[in-house]
Structure 1
Amino acid sequence: MTFGGRFADAAFGRKTLLAVIASVAVSAGIAIGLSAQGAIWEGWVIDRLFQIRALMRDPQDTVPAPVAVIGLDRTALDSERLAPVPRVLMAPVFAEAGQAVLDAGATALGYDFVFAYSADAFVDPVTGEARLKGFDQPFQRFLYQNRGKVFIAHTEIGVPHRSFTAAAGAGGVRSVTISSENDGVVRRHLPHPPLSQSPALIDALIAMTGAEVSQEYTAVPSWRLATSVPYMSLLDVLNMKETEAGKEKLRRFVEGRIVLFGGLLPYEDEHLYSDRFLPHFPLEMSETGESGRPWVQSETAGVFILADLVGSALSGRMAVAPPPGVIQVLAFGFAAAGALAALFLPLFAMPLVAAGGVALGLGLSLAGLDYGLLLAPGVAPVACVSAMVAAGVGKVGILQRRQRSLVRLFGHYLAPDVIKRMAQSEQLPELGGDTRQVVVAFIDIVGFTKMSETLADRDVVRVVNSCFDAIGQVITRHQGYIDKYIGDAVMAVWNAPNTVENPEQAAVDSAREIVDLLDHMRSITGQKSLDLRVALNAGPVLVGDIGGEHRRSFTVMGTTVNTASRIEAVAKDKKVRLAVSQSVADRLPRSYPIKEIWTGQLRGLSTDLTVFTLDVPEMYMENTEAAPDGSSKSGSGKLLNFPR
């Protein structure tokens, strides 16, 4: 099988590995991304998206709230009117305020209080007298007369007194229990259709408006509830009902709205809610009474949360889960993008791609809120990054390791740069090539013919291989490329296929180091007569693949190569170990002791050529000494210092 066929097989194997790694990475990304849905940190991300959305909105765009809150706050409790009244004996006060609100046009009332104690049941422990008999009748009467429009609360551990339950009727007592998510924050509500028969107060109040909500939803607040929900102190309601002007203000505040009564004392019935990172609503734009609003606490009062869960459903300010399959498609798309980016983009681009994937995923989730969809914000970013990491590990651990093995294996036959390009492109280069300025070297083992006559073939091969190995190490160290071995000679190139900053100097330095290895090579081969000749020439050559579709070779061709081969004859004639053309000498630093040794026409060339060597003792063959005047005994020449 030809080399091309073997490499094609390897390339096909790489494509298969790419497909396998991509499949595994995408699968891992999808699995890990989907596992992020409902993760404990996902709620934090959702709340931050609410924050970003709120910062992008204008307070002027806020629609009128369908739910208002009347609070039993510190201002009311400390007032002259209510300070003497114990909190457990405030049922008549709530009846008075509630009737005023209904008369003002409220759609329905909900009390976020568990009226577990009835004053009617109080008996003097000393006399046994029922001293508060009839005290709660106003509230009981109020509940009975407004059945279907007024609801009182029960919790998991607290229920109203049986007298209030009886007055409110079968549907008048509803649960105010709200459920937090795994991070302890309240965000969602799960309705129980039909809403009018639901045990939840939220559902009952929604049903009073004729609205229908059938699936779990997440409320999408825009501001801190304590600053944005229409709010009035219980004291303000009691005061406004006393005057016609006050009644008119109360009407404007509650008409057409659902009203919730609840406690607003600090640290009582407070919960973490998804409004915790939101900005405060401008005070001058908030709806409130003369007593103002309570302080904004780190947590949110339960009655405000109930109001927001009801109000978000009525105003469309909610987000539901997308249709089945959307999240899975989103996870697949981001996982595929992450895997492909890791496989085909450079390593330095990965952080940017990861950041872009996270930003895009969060951006889609943010945009989804405007369409009433909660696109689990953790899925897409995690899928993208996870697939990218998995593909990156596969690329580094399998593909690049395989590519390095391929380069190391075939690097004994071809230039590593050529192997890398073929491995990356998965195909053989086109025949032909490009013209480049290079330095070509011919390094000849002197006396090889005589040596081969006296040694066995195996010993000849051992000697040649030892020499070629030592020479090849020096060439490679100086960024040269061994083009081919020609019998007992080495042909090397600088500046192809790789790029060398100063190829002429690198070639001459390499030649000097190779000559310095003569004693070492004589020692390891046992051939005392072994010697070397190096010929260098610089110029343009054709660099590329030469041959046919079934057999080819990466090499350099052109007059520059032929000239370098001819210069070796000058080195032989002048008995020097290094001979370089003027095109090489002109590019050497001035510190190099350049000496002209020959000028004339080489065989096959039509123009004169000047050949030089380095005027140092080791560059002259044995039994050839440099003359005191700078000329060698074996050839006429002079030491030149010409501009370079």
Structure 2
Amino acid sequence: MTSGGRFADAAFGRKLLVAAIACVAVVAGVAIGLSANKAIWEGWVTDRLFQVRANMRGTQEEARAPVAVVGLDQTSLNSEKLQPIPRVLMTPVFAEAGQAVLDAGALALGYDFVFAYSADAFRDPRTGEARLTGLDQPFKQFLYRNRGKVFIAHTEIGVPHRIFSGAAGEGAVRTVTVDSDNDGVVRRHKPQPPLIESPSLVDGLLAKAGYAGQEEYVAIPSARLATSMPYLSLLDVLKMKSSEAGKEELRRFVEGRIVLFGGLLPFEDEHLYSDRFLPQVPPDMSETGSNGRPPVRLHTAGVYMLADFIASALSGRIAVTPPKGVVPALAVLFAVTGVLLGLILPSVVLPFVAVVGAAAALGISLIGLDYGLMLAPGVAPVAFISSLVFAAAGKVLILQRRQRALVRLFGHYLAPDVIKQMAQSEQLPELGGDTRNVVVAFIDIVGFTKMSEKLADQDVVRVVNSSFDAIGEVITAHKGYIDKYIGDAIMAVWNAPNTVDKPEQAAVDAARQIIDMLDHLRTITGQAPLDLRVALNAGPALVGDIGGEHRRSFTVMGTTVNTASRIEAVAKDKKVRLAIS
């Protein structure tokens, strides 16, 4: 009976090996799954879940929307009333429309416009006359009269003129800047409590509607905002206020709602929003004025997004981050399930299982949306598929092919013939060995110490590895065995542990080829002074395992080896590249 017993039994045993594979697969699946949280592609998955959710629900009659939009669209600008007026001089129009909306019962107004220009500052370039003085007076009076109900916008690069900021009062000027996820799509809003003091226009209007939430949330739209958001063009409002019937219609439209004024012109203030894959609402099912809506575009107007952040929070169409531990628990659950299926089921059905498992994980994320939870939809599917793949690979590559894996992995450290023998017999060889005639070679990099003093550590490693790799390839090609690396030298053996018919001839041929490729080594390492020294000696040596039961090494030893080392020293003294006994 050889020492060590059965190799597999001594190392793990089949059951312990399966358990080890399972543990590694679970850990890997969980780690990879959690790394998918907020990955750049996860946002796309989230938007597709919104699409699936909307298609499953179909077009439904929803409760009255808490927010409406009044748009400065192309129809309004082309109208007889507004066409002659430059956009920067429309403050009297906004005052007229805004007061009509408030008188009709709107809770509060938000202007998604930066009123950076004041007509009072205009001077005729020819005469210097202040010809537009007083044009902004109606808007200033409107802002002052409705302080606390009207908010105006500022952005990162634009702020309202000081006369408008002063008229609107403290806290009326708020930011409309939105933050996108790492894929460039806008999805979430983070309230900054207390909302009434927040710098955000969305928060200010939420506070006016009585919202008190503080958690960051993702808005869950149910349709394209350009077709579903209650909408009036600016021209609609101006026409409605001119008659009693129109005023009543306007009252029914805006009463009790937050109203946002904003631009709806193509390519102005447009963003990618999470509604881009959602279905459109038929015109007869959406609240719209007589002048209709602007055409639907790929990008979503900024005023629609601001309105949806407010409407979703007030309507409960939001999803927040779940409590700590929920997402990791899902990752663990699906990783464990993937490992079990990967170890139990045949490989041929695993692609189908991967699809079903990923669909189930996405289904849980979809259900989470109904409960207001954003369950990181990329985590569970990735954890399941990753663990499934790791478990299946472990089963195939380790459990079913452990002999080949043993040879392949440990062959870089031990003689391949020794590894094959252990894999085939599942036994460790006895300590000691036998005596046979071998050829021993010492191959040294000349001047390595001086060279290493001039190079960075990384460059030293690169030079050594490049040289050893090229030299090792020649040794192996001539049936030699690399016994060990000794600093900047290689000890190689011929006729152990493998059998070589003419070891002396093979060793000499290898040595000559190594010397001949010196120029190649200098080129690949970039070290022109690099040189080599090779010493060869033939004779009997003890070949086998040395060490103990806990740690051992295959090597050759004896006088032949010692003499080869001394010959290498002689070659150094004589300054020759190749010395042979």
Q: Tell me if both proteins adopt one fold, taking TM over 0.5 as the criterion.
A: yes
Equivalent residue number for residue 237 of structure 1? 237
Q: Is the 8 A contact 2:30 2:383 kept in 1?
A: yes
Deviation at 1:18, TM superposition (A): 0.9
The 5-angstrom pairing of residues 8-87 of structure 1 reads 9=9, 13-87=13-87
Deviation at 1:11, TM superposition (A): 11
Which secondary structure does the structure 2 equivalent of 1:60 belong to? coil
Q: Structure 2 CA distance, aligned partners of 1:195 and 1:287?
A: 29
With a CA cutoff of 8 Å and minimum separation of 6, indicate the structure with the bigger relative contact order. 2
Deviation at 1:6, TM superposition (A): 6.7
Equivalent residue number for residue 178 of structure 1? 178
Q: Is the 8 A contact 2:175 2:201 kept in 1?
A: yes
Deviation at 1:63, TM superposition (A): 2.2
Deviation at 1:329, TM superposition (A): 0.3
Q: Does 1:345 align with 2:345?
A: yes
Equivalent residue number for residue 99 of structure 2? 99
After superposition, the Cα gap between the structure-2 partners of 1:190 and 1:90, relative to the gap in structure 1 and judged at 3 Å, is: same
After superposition, the Cα gap between the structure-2 partners of 1:194 and 1:9, relative to the gap in structure 1 and judged at 3 Å, is: same
Which secondary structure does the structure 2 equivalent of 1:164 belong to? helix
Q: Structure 1 CA distance, aligned partners of 2:213 and 2:40?
A: 27
The 5-angstrom pairing of residues 57-206 of structure 1 reads 57-206=57-206
Which secondary structure does the structure 1 equivalent of 2:400 belong to? helix
Q: Structure 2 CA distance, aligned partners of 1:196 and 1:402?
A: 67
Q: Structure 1 CA distance, aligned partners of 2:404 and 2:163?
A: 85
Deviation at 1:61, TM superposition (A): 3.6
Higher Cα radius of gyration = 1
Q: Does 1:375 align with 2:383?
A: no
Structure 1 residue runs of 4+, over 3 Å off? Answer: 5-12, 402-406
Q: Structure 1 CA distance, aligned partners of 2:162 and 2:110?
A: 18
Which secondary structure does the structure 2 equivalent of 1:138 belong to? helix
Equivalent residue number for residue 251 of structure 1? 251
Q: Structure 2 CA distance, aligned partners of 1:337 and 1:255?
A: 53
After TM superposition, the score normalised by the length of structure 1 is 0.61
Deviation at 1:395, TM superposition (A): 1.4
Q: Does 1:288 align with 2:288?
A: yes
The 5-angstrom pairing of residues 113-512 of structure 1 reads 113-402=113-402
Give the AA of the match of 2:350. M
Deviation at 1:300, TM superposition (A): 0.5
Which secondary structure does the structure 2 equivalent of 1:245 belong to? helix
Equivalent residue number for residue 488 of structure 2? none
Q: Is the 8 A contact 2:397 2:405 kept in 1?
A: no
After superposition, the Cα gap between the structure-2 partners of 1:148 and 1:391, relative to the gap in structure 1 and judged at 3 Å, is: same
Which secondary structure does the structure 2 equivalent of 1:56 belong to? helix
Deviation at 1:342, TM superposition (A): 1.1
Q: Structure 2 CA distance, aligned partners of 1:19 and 1:289?
A: 67
Deviation at 1:242, TM superposition (A): 0.6
Q: Structure 2 CA distance, aligned partners of 1:295 and 1:9?
A: 72
Gaps of at least 5 residues in structure 2 are: 407-581
Taking only aligned residues, the RMSD between alpha carbons, in angstroms, comes to: 1.9
Q: Is the 8 A contact 2:8 2:14 kept in 1?
A: no
Q: Structure 1 CA distance, aligned partners of 2:21 and 2:111?
A: 60
The one-character-per-residue Cα deviations of 1:22-72 (angstroms, maximum 9, x if unpaired) are 111111111100000001100000000000000011323422211000000
Which secondary structure does the structure 1 equivalent of 2:223 belong to? coil
Q: Structure 2 CA distance, aligned partners of 1:8 and 1:288?
A: 76
The one-character-per-residue Cα deviations of 1:502-530 (angstroms, maximum 9, x if unpaired) are xxxxxxxxxxxxxxxxxxxxxxxxxxxxx
Q: Structure 2 CA distance, aligned partners of 1:342 and 1:187?
A: 36
Q: Structure 1 CA distance, aligned partners of 2:314 and 2:34?
A: 31
Which secondary structure does the structure 2 equivalent of 1:272 belong to? strand
Q: Is the 8 A contact 2:398 2:405 kept in 1?
A: no
Which secondary structure does the structure 1 equivalent of 2:331 belong to? helix
The one-character-per-residue Cα deviations of 1:81-103 (angstroms, maximum 9, x if unpaired) are 00011000000100000000000
Q: Structure 2 CA distance, aligned partners of 1:405 and 1:384?
A: 26
Q: Structure 2 CA distance, aligned partners of 1:90 and 1:219?
A: 32
Deviation at 1:359, TM superposition (A): 0.4
Q: Structure 1 CA distance, aligned partners of 2:91 and 2:12?
A: 83
Gaps of at least 5 residues in structure 1 are: 407-644
After superposition, the Cα gap between the structure-2 partners of 1:125 and 1:7, relative to the gap in structure 1 and judged at 3 Å, is: closer
After TM superposition, the score normalised by the length of structure 2 is 0.68
Aligned length: 404
